[in-house]
Amino acid sequence: MRMRPILATIHLDALRHNLAIVKKIAPKSNVMAVVKANAYGHGLLRVAKGLAETDGFAVLGINEAISLREAGYKQTIMLLEGVFEADELELAAQWALSIVVHNEQQMAILENVVLSQPIEIFLKMNTGMNRLGFRPQVYATQIQRLSKLANVKNIVMMTHFAAADEDSGISEALAKFHEATQTFSYQTSVANSAALLRYPESHTDWVRPGIMLYGATPVSGQAATSFGLKPAMQLTTEIIAVQTLQAGESVGYGHTFTAKELTRVGIVACGYADGYPRHAPSGTPIAINGKVTKTLGRVSMDMLFADISDILEADVGSAVELWGAQVTVDAVAEASGTVGYELLCAVAPRVPFEVIETHG
Ligand SMILES: *Cc1c(COP(=O)(O)O)cnc(C)c1O
């Protein structure tokens, strides 16, 4: 049966290649592959297969962590927001998960239960993001509390940067972190993708790359390819109709694009209900039959429009790449006023996925 042609293809070789880049850049660090949000929209278990050589996985929900364990992954699996109640803590211990501890409530749970086996703690410091974590001034006290507990197997000292991708960088946050941790010899973990790519001093015991593993950029304005990364996801579809606009005619809702001259328009089977950004304006790059052209008019729920005036052979059935190797997800994101992260995470459940070993 022939189906609607939209498809997200996950390239395992690209995931492996990007992980190898991480290891090459930070050869002394353990790698904690961040696979939260269903592996940034790529599919948790699909991605885990491509990243099987990683030293650890970081997820948000305990259900994701358990599904990785059930699939046979033996490495460190860390819960980025830790646990939310005592029962969950015991479950985490039973599955040999590692957990972030970032607030007093989590600390109290840990102090007031008897776990069936001790658990690894990533103790989070707030070095300026002001989201999760203990302030530097009280960090040593928390370390001392943890170090007394039979429930605690070992401690990793951790922070997360607010501006690793910005001009202001990480130096202030890293200085705070060093000052508050210098008297302890526990392992540390500080780098996300942007820090990993920009600041070698962030390559401590554990690095935590997310977006770069998927081959999108963590640094706006700097292409993922400039870091040697390859896109792990290719979102493709086909042209399902062709319209020819006379000068003065418009296409799509709101008539936001009006042709100045004779314009051939490919009607593309992908819309915002597939996860394509509705904010993508006319002019957003899109590839038809391997040639980069631009979108026209307003993205609708199930369709969008591409200018095929200069792609003479384009017709119903022609191949369309929304994002992938020809048009980067970052280029679509930039045109739409967002970041590749958001677009990748937003690929809709109705889009079928396929996993392949190699590009080509
Ligand atoms: C999401 C996340 C990361 C990965 O960030 P990227 O920018 O995708 O590399 C690392 N650490 C923490 C705590 C995170 O929440």
218 CB under 6 A from ligand 1? yes
Return the best residue to mutate from 18, 21, 31, 34 for the ligand 1 pocket (most ligand atoms within 8 A of CB): 34
> Cα separation of 296 and 302, whole Å?
15
Q: Tell which atom from ligand 1 comes closest to the C-alpha of 80.
A: 13
Return the best residue to mutate from 192, 196, 229, 341 for the ligand 1 pocket (most ligand atoms within 8 A of CB): 192
pLDDT at 91: 98
Whose Cα sits closest to atom 13 in ligand 1? 160
Long-range contacts of the stretch 98-107 (C-beta < 8 A, 24+): 98/56, 98/122, 98/156, 100/124, 100/132, 100/158, 101/142, 101/146, 102/132, 102/133, 102/134, 103/132, 103/134, 106/82, 107/142, 107/145, 107/146
Instruction: Identify the residue with better confidence: 3 or 270.
Output: 270
Read off the tokens for 197.
Answer: 């790519």
pLDDT at 359: 54
192: CA distance to ligand 1 center in Å?
A: 5
> Cα separation of 95 and 168, whole Å?
40
Q: Regarding the domain delimited by 12-216, which CATH topology (the fold level of the hierarchy) does it fall under?
A: TIM Barrel (3.20.20)
Helix H or strand E segment including 191: strand 187-191
Q: pLDDT by residue (tens digit) across 230-248?
A: 999 999 999 999 999 999 9
207: CA distance to ligand 1 center in Å?
A: 10
What are the residue ranges of CATH 3.20.20.10 in the chain?
Answer: 12-216
> Cα separation of 351 and 353, whole Å?
7
Cα–Cα distances in Å, from 33 out to 58, 172, 208, 326?
6, 25, 6, 26
Asked if 305 and 268 touch (Cβ cutoff 8 Å), the reply is: yes
pLDDT at 82: 98
Which are the contacts of 137, defined by CB distance < 8 A and separation ≥ 6?
180
- Residue 158 marked as a ligand binder: no
Average pLDDT over residues 190-198: 98
Q: pLDDT by residue (tens digit) across 204-230?
A: 999 999 999 999 999 999 999 999 999
209 CB under 6 A from ligand 1? yes
Does the 233-356 domain belong in CATH 2.70.70.10? no
Among all residues, which ones are annotated catalytic?
A: 36, 253
Nearest to 129 by CA among 201, 192, 82, 179: 192
Q: pLDDT by residue (tens digit) across 85-102?
A: 999 999 999 999 999 999
What are the residue ranges of CATH 2.40.37.10 in the chain?
Answer: 233-356
Q: Tell which atom from ligand 1 comes closest to the C-alpha of 208.
A: 10
- Please state, rounded to an integer, the average pLDDT across all residues of the chain: 97
Q: If you search the block for the tokens 């042209």, which residue do you land on?
A: 239
> Cα separation of 248 and 260, whole Å?
6
Whose Cα sits closest to atom 15 in ligand 1? 80
pLDDT at 75: 98
Q: pLDDT by residue (tens digit) across 23-48?
A: 999 999 999 999 999 999 999 999 99
Which are the contacts of 145, defined by CB distance < 8 A and separation ≥ 6?
107, 111
1 band by pLDDT with thresholds 50, 70 and 90: confident
80 CB under 6 A from ligand 1? yes
- Residue 301 marked as a ligand binder: yes
SS3 assignment for 224-258: HHHHCCCCCEEEEEEEEEEEEECCCCEECHHHCEE
Return the best residue to mutate from 21, 32, 35, 160 for the ligand 1 pocket (most ligand atoms within 8 A of CB): 160
Whose Cα sits closest to atom 10 in ligand 1? 192
Work out the end-to-end distance of the chain between its first and last CA atoms, rounded to an integer number of angstroms: 25
Q: pLDDT by residue (tens digit) across 111-122?
A: 999 999 999 999
> For residue 129, how far is the Cα from the chain centroid?
19
pLDDT at 204: 98
Which are the contacts of 77, defined by CB distance < 8 A and separation ≥ 6?
56, 57, 58, 59, 65, 68, 69, 95, 96, 97, 98
Whose Cα sits closest to atom 4 in ligand 1? 210
6: CA distance to ligand 1 center in Å?
A: 29
Average pLDDT over residues 328-338: 98
360 band by pLDDT with thresholds 50, 70 and 90: very low
**Buried residues in 240-249 as b, exposed as e (16+ CB within 10 A):** beeeebeeee
Q: How many residues does the chain have?
A: 360
> Cα separation of 310 and 354, whole Å?
31
